[in-house]
Amino acid sequence: MIIFLEFSQLQSTTAICPSLFNATSAQDGILSRMRLPAGLVTSTQCELVTNITNQFGNGEIQITNRGNLQIRTSQALSFDTLLDLQDYGLASSEANTDGLRNIMASPTSGIDPHALINTVPFVKQWNFYLANHPELEILSNKFSVCFDGGETISVSDRPNDICFVAVEFDNEIYFSLHLGLGDRGDSPSAIGRLIYPEQTLQVLAALTEVYREYTEQKLNQANSCARPPRLREMIGNWGVESYLQLVEQKLGYALRRSSLELLSQESKIGIAYHHLGIHSQRQLELAYIGVVIPLGRLTSLQFHGLGDLSRQYGGGALRLTPWQNILITDIAEAQIEQVSQEINDLGLSISANHPYAAIAACSGYKGCKAAFTDTQADAKKVAAHLENCIKLDIPINIHFSGCDKSCAQHHPSDIAFVGIQSKDPNYHEVYKVYVGVGNTDFGRELHSEYSAKDIPNLIIQLLKTYQNQRRDSTQTFREFFNRQGLS
């Protein structure tokens, strides 16, 4: 491995978006983020992260909604620690491109019986390409790439700049090219081009190179403080077709066109809890277990324990999901019961009906300067209240956002809370409350200002109304409230 660190180099702590070499100073410590392409982390890597967290951190490990790992430490990571992380493959060998967003793939790539193609090799190749192209460091660190192999646990709707979505067309497998054209948080859209799997990396490199040249031009024109443009800004400026023309010039061939209607039929929505519990794999007599990680946070002991289980009974690696949970894969069906029991002994659940299975919260004001509320603490209170007061027979997706940017989730929830600045001086923390689907991105507005302390009781009220008045147990919370008047 080529090491680019210099002896004088320490982790900087001034980044807005954390990485390993540029961490962020937050209220609750120095936040370092490890990119894990496709969310894969081996049991040996789990051991190193556990040791670092125990030695320098607060004993807690967090999974992000791009399948990264985050740790909080009391001081910047030392040179030796960064070298260890590089050595174990947890930091890029090229510090400059380590800050680019994690490469996303379905957590069930390669193991889903219904997938069209295994995308893990594409992720690995693209990661290798990034490590060998330090010139890409000028790109916006929000530049994001995703591969969706047509798995049941789809990731094609997750916000990304470029997404390759496997489709079957004329009895052949292609990737349909999707680009992020809309607003922040929108899913990428099919643009009517099909890519042969063997050309995918070449096409991705050309898409990236045209964007890099645009970025370089813009940065040269602007003053030195200007931020690099996002890919969607470039596309907004040029239009998709002009962008693709330049890409095709670089490639020396035209991309295959296809009708948009046909491709948009392939779009799927990833559901936060469908991967939880026990599921059969493509590989005969093997299964995976999806473990609920409350708000994406677990102790280093639990993390280490899951890593050990994967080594002892599984394929030796964990998969972190964009819904902030963990899969242990490649477990012999005969050992599923034993592994489930050991997960339980670690204080974790595998049930999709667990209150934490479908609760998401952004980092809130302890980790983000834009937040109006302590989303993490409020979500924990709700989960504890649900555990004590009601039995869920169907997962309910509840989402807490500290402001209206909605980093933790980009689709309507069953119930959404959005932190706002209170107009009433007596209210310490308040949220707007939404239910079901409505005319805003968050759903139908139920309350324009609701005190955080009253939220646990409000949720119980809503759930009891739903459980007592729904048509039958197949009617979802969202269907029920979409038909109800709100008063």
CB 381 to ligand SF4: min, Å: 17
**Cβ proximity to ligand SF4, 3 vs 16, nearer residue:** 16
- Helix, strand, coil percentages, rounded to 5, for the chain: 35, 25, 40
Segment lying near ligand SF4 (by CB under 6 A), choices 184-192, 265-273, 398-406, 466-474: 398-406
SS3 of 465, please? helix
* DSSP structural state of residue 14: B
Question: Could you tell me the smallest distance in angstroms from the CB atom of residue 357 to ligand SF4?
Answer: 21
**Binding segment (CB under 6 A) for ligand SF4, from list 76-84, 188-196, 360-368, 479-487:** 360-368
CB neighbour list of residue 337: distance below 8 Å, 6 or more residues apart: none
Residue 328 vs 368, nearer CB to ligand SF4: 368
The residue range among 82-90, 121-129, 199-207, 368-376 that interacts with ligand SF4, by the rule CB under 6 A, is 368-376
Is residue 406 a contact point for ligand SF4 (CB under 6 A)? yes
Quickly tell me which residue has 């490469």 as its tokens.
103
Does position 370 interact with ligand SF4 (CB under 6 A)? The reply is yes
> Is residue 17 at the binding interface for ligand SF4, with CB under 6 A as the rule?
no
First to last CA, the chain: 63
**What is the CB-side half-sphere exposure of residue 102 using CA atoms within 13 A?**
30
Query: Segment contacting ligand SF4 (CB under 6 A): 7-15, 90-98, 235-243, 404-412?
Result: 404-412
Query: Given phi > 0 = left and psi -120 to 50 = alpha, else beta, which region is 304?
Result: alpha
Binding window for ligand SF4 (CB under 6 A); candidates: 227-235, 242-250, 281-289, 403-411: 403-411
Between 250 and 410, CB nearer to ligand SF4: 410
Does residue 131 contact residue 94 with C-beta atoms inside 8 Å? Answer: yes
Q: E-strand spans in 128-227?
A: 145-148, 162-169, 172-179, 189-195
Q: If binding is defined by CB under 6 A, does position 403 make contact with ligand SF4?
A: yes
Please pick, from the candidates 368, 392, 455, 462, the single residue that binds ligand SF4 as defined by CB under 6 A.
Answer: 368
CA distance linking residue 389 with residue 307, whole number of Å: 33
Q: Which residue's CB comes closest to ligand SF4?
A: 402
Between strands 443-451 and 430-440, the pairing is antiparallel
Considering the rule CB under 6 A, would residue 363 count as an interface residue with ligand SF4? yes
Closest CB to ligand SF4 among 421 and 457? 421
Give me the least distance between CB of 360 and ligand SF4, in Å please: 11
Cβ proximity to ligand SF4: between 64 and 127 the closer is: 64
Rule CB under 6 A: say whether 34 interacts with ligand SF4.
no
> Could you say whether residue 401 binds ligand SF4 (CB under 6 A)?
yes
* Torsion angle (degrees, nearest 10) of CA 253, 256, 260, 265: -130
Q: How many residues bind ligand SF4 (CB under 6 A)?
A: 11
Token output for 108: 């069930």
Task: Tell me which stretch binds ligand SF4 (CB under 6 A): 9-17, 215-223, 281-289, 363-371.
Answer: 363-371
- Indicate the residue among 308 and 441 with the shorter CB distance to ligand SF4: 441
Closer residue to ligand SF4 (CB): 15 or 191? 15
From candidates 218, 405, 410, 447, binder to ligand SF4 by CB under 6 A: 405
Q: Which of 18, 402, 412, 436 binds ligand SF4 (CB under 6 A)?
A: 402
- In sequence order, the 6+-apart residues with CB closer than 8 A to the CB of 75 are 30, 56
Among 362, 415, 430, 459, which residue interacts with ligand SF4 (rule: CB under 6 A)?
362
Candidate list 40, 407, 416, 420; residue touching ligand SF4; CB under 6 A: 407
Min dist CB 404 to ligand SF4, Å, is: 7
- 3-class secondary-structure state, position 112: coil
144 Cβ contact partners less than 8 Å away, ≥ 6 residues apart: 66, 101, 102, 104, 159, 160, 161, 162, 180
| Sequential DSSP letters for 245-303 | HHHHHHHTSPPEE--HHHHHTT-----TTTT-EEEE-SSTTEEEEEEB-GGGEEEHHHH
In a 3-state reduction of DSSP, which class is residue 72?
strand
> Structure tokens of 454?
């009253």
Among residues 61 and 362, whose Cβ is nearest to ligand SF4?
362
* Residue 403, both tokens: 């402001």
Residues lying near ligand SF4 in the complex (CB under 6 A): 362-363, 368, 370-371, 401-403, 405-407
